[in-house]
């Protein structure tokens, strides 16, 4: 149980981290994988696509294809209006929630 605390926290917030990234600009799969894997939010690209599929099923992201300078057509993900609203909802609740948890668990 204690060994998986980090994994459980990541599962709870990683979808909203994707929404936050896409709020800045549309991104393609590998960009998202890089941005999320570096801080350890996803383990690999195998975790990313199921996650993107859920976000798309919820109507929070949509895709479009765009040719890249290096050749291949890339599939980009962007935020929908529903995704923007969902992200705003999360932002409003995240800060007080994180502050409450911090005040309860303290610091080392």
Partner 1 sequence: MMTDTSDYLARLDVALRDVPHGIAAEIRAGVAEELSSLDPDAAERRIAQLGDPAVIAREAMDAGGLVPPGPWVPPVVPVRSPATTTRGFAIAAALVLSFGGFLVPFAGWVVGAVMVGLSSMWRTWEKVVAICAPLVLFGIVMLFSLAAFTTTAVEVHEASGTGSAPDIANPLVPDLFGFHSAIILLVVLAIPASGLWLLWRMRGRTAAS
Q: Please provide the DSSP assignment of 21-78 as one string.
A: HHHHS-EEHHHHHHHHHTTTS-SSHHHHHHHHHHHHHTTSEEEEEEE-TTSSEEEEEE
Between CA 35 and CA 13 the distance in angstroms is 14
Site residues, partner 1 (CB under 8 A): 11, 15-16, 28-30, 33, 43-54, 57-58, 68, 70-75, 86, 89-90, 93, 96-97
Q: Which helix (H) or strand (E) holds 80?
A: none
Least Å distance, CB 21 to partner 1, is 16
Closest CB 86 distance from partner 1, rounded Å: 7
CB of 17 to partner 1, least distance (A): 12
């Amino acid at each position: 149980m204690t060994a998986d605390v980090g994994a459980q926290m990541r599962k709870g917030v990683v979808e909203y981290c994707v929404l936050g990234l896409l709020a800045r600009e549309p991104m393609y799969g590998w960009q998202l994988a890089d941005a999320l894997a570096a801080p350890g939010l996803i383990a690999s690209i195998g975790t990313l696509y199921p996650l993107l599929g859920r976000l798309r099923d919820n109507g929070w992201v949509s895709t479009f294809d765009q040719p890249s300078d290096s050749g291949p057509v890339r599939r980009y993900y962007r935020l929908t209006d529903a995704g923007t609203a969902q992200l705003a909802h999360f932002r409003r609740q995240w800060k007080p929630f994180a502050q409450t948890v911090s005040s309860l668990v303290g610091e080392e």
